[in-house]
Amino acid sequence: MTLTELASETSRRFQERYGHAPLSLVAAPGRVNLIGEHTDYNDGFVFPMGIERYTVIAASPSALRRAQIFSADTNSEVTIDLESTVTRGQPSWSNYMRGVIAGFQKLKIAIPGFDALVMSSVPMGGGLSSSAALEVSTATLLEAASNHRLDPVQKALLCQKAEQEFAGVPCGIMDQFTSVMAKEGHLLLLDCRSRTTELVPLTNPDLSILIINSNVKHELTGGEYAERRAQCERAAQILSVASLRDASLPMLEADRARMEPLIYHRALHVISEIARTTEAAREMRAGQWSKLGQLMYASHDSLRDDFEVSCAELDLLMDLARKLGERGGVFGSRMTGGGFGGCTVSLVETRSVDAICQHIGAAYREKTGLEATMFVSRPAGGARVLK
Ligand code: ADP
Ligand code: MG
């Protein structure tokens, strides 16, 4: 579904529900990270792009000082009182929006009452950041409704805070930054320390970014993310650096004896991944697809073996792509997102996309009994007002 189709469907659903056409329509994209995983909270680099999957919100002002929001994706509604300070509440999905509204309240930006309908083509919980797309589309709607534009960095940080404090996810800044600042035809090399971005073009039509959703999400104990963060902090402490961004591989080797093996391996992933990420941006600029692809495989291996955040399904999808190799049109492939399920991202030849999808889909089905969902995406632009 294109953005235009999604927007008109959202409009139609709004009209059906509220009896009139929406006055405004906003959209914010999901994202995929090409390389640089678990580096953002270590002050490192990430290399994401917006994808052609969006969360769209249709809205109209209402006479009442409250937000009435229906999510077509969860088929549920929430009413939020705007006269008092917005707090966490039910249903749980509303917290992503409540957090953003609370962020505006904190800035003393008056939000008029509104009716809204949310619809998304970003799969929920698939690692493509439907959560950031929801936050950033909400912030974009509130900017339009209040006639008050935020600075893009401030907007992304406000959305990140919403996810941290209202949804309880201790996330880094990549998702919200990308959903706000993505640029059509470009990847974003984002320095998570300085919060500056460098745009790297990707417009060659012979090359495609293929996203494959394993359609599994292993819940485990739920504490894995916080645990990895703590392990990285521990490693930085032993290495006497503010964050692993400031460490090098020789430094790590020099202090290896002073670390538990587990902490060493966590740090090894982060330090090598930060280096791979800046290198990947250079290879992308130089059009060196093979070299870029090798960095993606190395990233996957490191996430699987040293950081231990992959799972059998992601390993299988990566292996299937890797075995096809360049002769089969695949330059590189890796798990993307936090891990334990979700998607892989692959750099492939456009003319081989159909054959690759067919092969991987069939083999994945045969080995796991599961259906993988696949799509290609060009690098999409960030959040915008459509109407
Ligand atoms: P991801 O960001 O990778 O998709 P998360 O677990 O971070 O996964 O966020 C998914 C959650 O975000 C959903 O469970 C839901 O609560 C919320 N969400 C995202 N998009 C929507 C939507 N269109 N409508 C309602 N809730 C949504
Ligand atoms: Mg998310």
Q: 112 lies in a domain?
A: yes
Q: Do residues 322 and 356 touch, judged by C-beta distance below 8 A?
A: no
Burial label for 369, CB within 10 Å (0-12, 13-18, 19+), is exposed
What pLDDT was estimated at residue 165?
97
Gap between the Cα atoms of 233 and 267, Å rounded: 9
Q: Note the pLDDT tens digit of each residue in 353-362.
A: 999 999 999 9
Q: Do residues 164 and 171 touch, judged by C-beta distance below 8 A?
A: yes
- Containing H/E element for 97? helix 94-106
Nearest CA to ligand 1 atom 27: 93
What pLDDT was estimated at residue 120?
98
Locus of tokens 């490192």? 44
pTM, 2 dp: 0.96
Q: 24 lies in a domain?
A: yes
Gap between the Cα atoms of 92 and 247, Å rounded: 39
Number of independent structural domains in the chain: 1
What pLDDT was estimated at residue 223?
85
Active-site residue, selected from the candidate residues 40, 43, 115, 175: 175
What pLDDT was estimated at residue 170?
83
The two three-digit tokens of residue 150, written as one number: 């935020």
- Domain span including residue 193: 3-199+381-385
In the chain, which residues have pLDDT < 70? 221
Helices H, strands E: what count in the chain?
11, 13
Q: 117 lies in a domain?
A: yes
What pLDDT was estimated at residue 349?
98
Other beta carbons within 10 angstroms of residue 15's beta carbon come to 14
Pocket of ligand 1 (CB under 6 A): 55, 71, 73-74, 92-93, 96, 118, 120, 124-131, 134
Q: DSSP assignment of 245-269, as one string?
A: GG--HHHHHHTGGGS-HHHHHHHHH
356: left (phi over 0), alpha (psi -120 to 50) or beta: alpha
Q: Compute, in angstroms, the gap from residue 212 CA to the centroid of ligand 1.
A: 18
What pLDDT was estimated at residue 137?
99
What pLDDT was estimated at residue 316?
98
Decide: helix, strand or coil at residue 125: coil
β-sheet bridge partners, residue 36: none
Gap between the Cα atoms of 235 and 360, Å rounded: 38
Mutation test residue for ligand 1: of 92, 97, 124, 174, the one with most atoms within 8 Å of CB? 124
Q: 210 lies in a domain?
A: no
Strands (E), the chain: 24-33, 45-46, 48-61, 66-71, 76-81, 114-120, 186-191, 196-201, 207-217, 330-336, 341-349, 373-377, 384-385
Q: 75 lies in a domain?
A: yes
Nearest CA to ligand 1 atom 11: 131
C-alpha atoms less than 13 angstroms from C-alpha of 211 in its C-beta half-sphere: 27
C-alpha atoms less than 13 angstroms from C-alpha of 336 in its C-beta half-sphere: 29
Q: 96 lies in a domain?
A: yes
Q: Do residues 100 and 162 touch, judged by C-beta distance below 8 A?
A: yes
β-sheet bridge partners, residue 186: 201
Q: 67 lies in a domain?
A: yes
Instruction: Tell me whether strands 66-71 and 114-120 are parallel, antiparallel or unpaired.
Output: parallel
Q: Which ligand has its closest atom nearest to the C-alpha of 174?
A: 2
Q: What CATH number should be reported for the domain holding residue 125? A: 3.30.230.10
Mutation test residue for ligand 1: of 93, 135, 211, the one with most atoms within 8 Å of CB? 93
Handedness of CA 302, 186, 155, 211 (dihedral sign): negative
- Is 175 among the residues known to form the active site? yes
Handedness of CA 311, 230, 196, 246 (dihedral sign): negative
Q: 128 lies in a domain?
A: yes
C-alpha distances (whole Å) from 339 to each of 5, 38, 314 are 31, 9, 8
